[in-house]
Amino acid sequence: MTGPRVGVLALQGGVREHVTVLTDLGADVRLVRRPEDLAAVGGLVLPGGESSVIDKLSRAFGLRDPLRAAIAEGMPVLGTCAGLILLADRLEDGIAGQQTLGGLDVTVRRNAFGSQTQSFETDLEVAAVGEAPVHATFIRAPIVSEVGPSVEAIARLPEGGIVGVRQGSLVGLSFHPELEGETRFHGLLLDAARRA
């Protein structure tokens, strides 16, 4: 029996790593580049990459409005790094004209930890995925600077900064679980897709 059919937005960024994790978990994975691709899936990963480029390409490919509608209608979505930025209702330090898809009642600050050379790794306690710590890789990562009342902060840095949030069937992460063989967040997406 195949798992749920889920998509990975494949306009730019770290698509292959997400496809690998989802396939290893038994999902039927589709690359989403056009509205008809999106219509064929029951859950979606918004990968890391360059959020402003993904924003522009989503408009060029006619995907922005279908993505916004799918999110508003409750499609389960996992956004990592740039994907978190895309899911945020509010963005700090975006480039001129940059838009988000929205859905998460949060404010996110781009490149909050500096340049690529200031990337880092750390272990996080994330009760939402179990007791074992999550080894998290941050690469030009955003941070959540403000959360609305319906948003749960599921991951924080040791000094308290919010780097993981959940609101209904939407999960946004500042870090890259797909680079570490960390499958539990993708498991949350598949569970939500099965329920949906």
Measured distance CA(7)–CA(115) in Å, rounded: 29
pTM of the predicted model, to two decimals?
0.96
Per-residue model confidence (pLDDT) at position 1 = 59
Beta strands in 86-127 (DSSP E): 88-92, 104-109, 120-124
Q: Are 149 and 127 in contact (CB under 8 A)?
A: no
Per-residue model confidence (pLDDT) at position 68 = 98
Please state, for a pLDDT cut of 90, what percent of the chain lies above it.
90
Per-residue model confidence (pLDDT) at position 112 = 87
CATH code: domain of residue 66: 3.40.50.880
The 10s digit of each residue's pLDDT in 130-178 is: 999 999 999 999 999 999 999 999 999 999 999 999 999 999 999 999 9
Which tokens in the block code for residue 118? 């200031």
Say yes or no to pLDDT of 117 above 90: no
Q: Which residues are part of the catalytic machinery? A: 81, 176, 178
Domain that holds residue 107: 5-195
Per-residue model confidence (pLDDT) at position 118 = 75
Q: How confident is the model at residue 28 (pLDDT cuts 50, 70, 90)?
A: very high
Q: How confident is the model at residue 98 (pLDDT cuts 50, 70, 90)?
A: very high
Q: Are 169 and 190 in contact (CB under 8 A)?
A: no
Domain total in the chain: 1
Q: 187 or 196: which carries more pLDDT confidence? A: 187
Q: Which residue has the tokens 């209702």?
A: 89
State in Å, rounded, how far the first CA of the chain is from the last one: 18
The 10s digit of each residue's pLDDT in 51-92 is: 999 999 999 999 999 999 999 999 999 999 999 999 999 999
> Between the CA of residue 188 and those of 11, 163, 195, what are the distances in Å?
23, 17, 11
Rg (CA), the chain: 15
Between strands 77-80 and 44-46, the pairing is parallel
Average pLDDT in the 42-58 region? 97
